[in-house]
């Protein structure tokens, strides 16, 4: 599960010498001096090169975000997908036989370099392709548990997120009662909908940027950093262009592709808007854990202010209205 970092933890120690030396020892291969940073806010990711010209990508995990067991759950899931011949980028086995290395106090993994362009959804078949790939991921996901990962359930993950925001003093005083009330109603409305719902290992963050289209090879799914245990519909709804009630056509396409490989429980479509509300709360909690980070403060200077919470509560209230209305009308059954 996520671990809150102490104020002194961070990437300050991650120098080029430490990066190169740690990866060199982990792979037992001499490296050049290349340490080309790649876009990533949460972690630190670098392209490296061996002296014989082979390129690798090393991902250094943000200290305090996941413990070793949770990182191992992620790697095991990706390796299970690879064993099913699902197009993923799996962590390499290091010289010690493990997939997690240590650079000082920072955990890292090494991956082969892969190319691809972000998928553009331009027609019906693109939705079906995405549905097919997600179903295959879920076939691998159902094979075993991920005991150290977040369980996506209102009474588990969101209860914890709300508690950490309130107990940590991140919600300013004028808005604490309103935030608590709205979150309580989201939890109370959402929790019964999860009764009897299948829960399995999921990617957890299935938006279009995490799918690469490789000409001649097809789709690849990347970045399992936010993997969770949860209902399969979680990996479908984030691909919709709007709220569920306005995206029946697109959702039906995703499900039709999904069901070419795996049965889908249509009753779980009513979870989409509660899951959207849960993601808003999760993201607020995630941001609170980054608040001490210099880069975060620079990019989001107003985060946590009265103005910020006023707007966030309005957004949550609007989403709560959608959840209430969908449950009353049955519109969640797309």
- Of the residues 70, 90, 114, which one is the last residue of a structural domain? 114
Q: Do 70 and 182 belong together in one domain?
A: no
Matching residue, tokens 């090393």? 58
Residues labelled as active-site residues: 205, 223
Q: pLDDT digit string (tens) for 62-75?
A: 988 899 999 999 99
| Structure-token pair, residue 69 | 């067991």
262 is a domain residue: yes
Q: Given a cut of 50, is residue 5 above it in pLDDT?
A: no
% of residues, the chain, pLDDT over 70: 96
CB atoms within 10 A of CB 263: 10
Into how many domains does the chain fold?
2
Question: The CATH number of the domain where 275 resides is what?
Answer: 1.10.510.10
Q: Do 22 and 147 belong together in one domain?
A: no
Q: Do 193 and 274 belong together in one domain?
A: yes
- Of the residues 72, 96, 114, which one is the last residue of a structural domain? 114
186 is a domain residue: yes
168 is a domain residue: yes
Q: Do 106 and 131 belong together in one domain?
A: no
pLDDT for the residue 333: 54
- The burial class, CB within 10 Å (0-12 / 13-18 / 19+), for 301 is exposed
Q: pLDDT digit string (tens) for 213-267?
A: 988 888 999 999 999 999 999 999 999 999 999 999 999 999 999 999 999 999 9
Q: Do 164 and 212 belong together in one domain?
A: yes
Average pLDDT over residues 40-56: 93
| Structure-token pair, residue 225 | 């950093």
Q: Phi and psi for 44 in degrees, rounded to 5? A: -115, 125
pLDDT for the residue 334: 52
**How do beta strands 211-214 and 106-112 pair?**
unpaired
10 is a domain residue: no
pLDDT for the residue 294: 76
Q: What is the H or E stretch that residue 219 is in? A: strand 218-221
Secondary structure class of 128 (helix, strand, coil): helix
Q: Do 291 and 186 belong together in one domain?
A: yes
Q: Do 107 and 236 belong together in one domain?
A: no
pLDDT for the residue 6: 40
- Of the residues 114, 136, 160, which one is the last residue of a structural domain? 114
- Complete edge-to-edge strand list for the sheet that includes strand 36-38: 36-38, 44-49, 55-60, 106-112, 101-103
85 is a domain residue: yes
Q: pLDDT digit string (tens) for 100-140?
A: 999 999 999 999 998 889 999 999 999 999 999 999 999 99
Average pLDDT, the chain: 93
pLDDT for the residue 313: 97
Q: Are the C-beta atoms of 128 and 251 separated by less than 8 Å?
A: no
Nearest Cα residue to 179 out of 195, 192, 167, 190? 167
7 is a domain residue: no
Q: Do 154 and 217 belong together in one domain?
A: yes
pLDDT for the residue 39: 85
pTM exceeds 0.85 for this model:
yes
Q: Do 218 and 307 belong together in one domain?
A: yes
185 is a domain residue: yes
Q: Given a cut of 70, is residue 331 above it in pLDDT?
A: no
Q: Do 102 and 151 belong together in one domain?
A: no
Domain that residue 175 falls in? 124-329
Return the DSSP state at 332: T
Predicted confidence band of residue 332 (pLDDT cuts 50, 70, 90) = low
């Amino acid at each position: 599960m996520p671990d809150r970092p102490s104020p002194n933890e961070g990437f300050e120690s991650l120098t080029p010498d430490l990066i190169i030396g740690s990866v060199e020892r982990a792979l037992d291969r001499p490296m050049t001096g290349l340490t080309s940073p790649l876009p990533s806010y949460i972690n630190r990711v670098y392209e490296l090169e061996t002296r014989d010209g082979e390129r690798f990508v090393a991902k250094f995990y943000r200290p305090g975000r996941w413990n070793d067991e949770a990182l191992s759950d992620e790697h095991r899931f990706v390796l299970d997908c690879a064993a099913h011949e699902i197009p993923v980028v799996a962590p390499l086995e290091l010289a010690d036989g493990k997939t997690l290395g240590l650079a000082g106090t920072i955990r890292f993994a090494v991956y082969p370099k892969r190319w691809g362009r972000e998928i553009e959804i331009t027609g019906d078949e693109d939705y079906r392709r995405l549905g097919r790939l997600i179903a295959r991921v879920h076939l691998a996901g159902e094979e075993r548990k991920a005991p150290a990962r977040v369980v996506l359930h209102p009474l588990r993950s969101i209860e914890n997120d709300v508690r950490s925001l309130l107990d940590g003093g991140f919600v300013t005083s004028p808005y604490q009662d309103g935030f608590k009330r709205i979150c309580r109603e989201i939890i109370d409305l959402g929790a019964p909908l999860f009764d009897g719902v299948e829960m399995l290992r999921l990617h957890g963050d299935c938006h279009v940027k995490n799918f690469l289209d490789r000409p001649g090879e097809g789709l690849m799914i990347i970045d399992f950093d936010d993997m969770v245990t949860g209902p399969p519909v979680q990996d479908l709804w984030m691909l919709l262009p709007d709220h569920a009630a306005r995206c029946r056509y697109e959702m039906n396409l995703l499900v039709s592709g999904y069901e070419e490989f795996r049965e889908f429980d249509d009753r779980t479509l009513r979870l989409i808007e509660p899951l959207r509300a849960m993601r808003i709360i999760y993201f607020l909690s995630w941001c609170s854990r980054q608040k001490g980070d210099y880069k975060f403060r620079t990019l989001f200077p107003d985060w946590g202010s009265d103005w910020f919470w006023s707007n966030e509560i309005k957004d949550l209230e609007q989403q709560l209205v959608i959840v209430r209305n969908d449950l009353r009308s049955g519109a969640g059954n797309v």
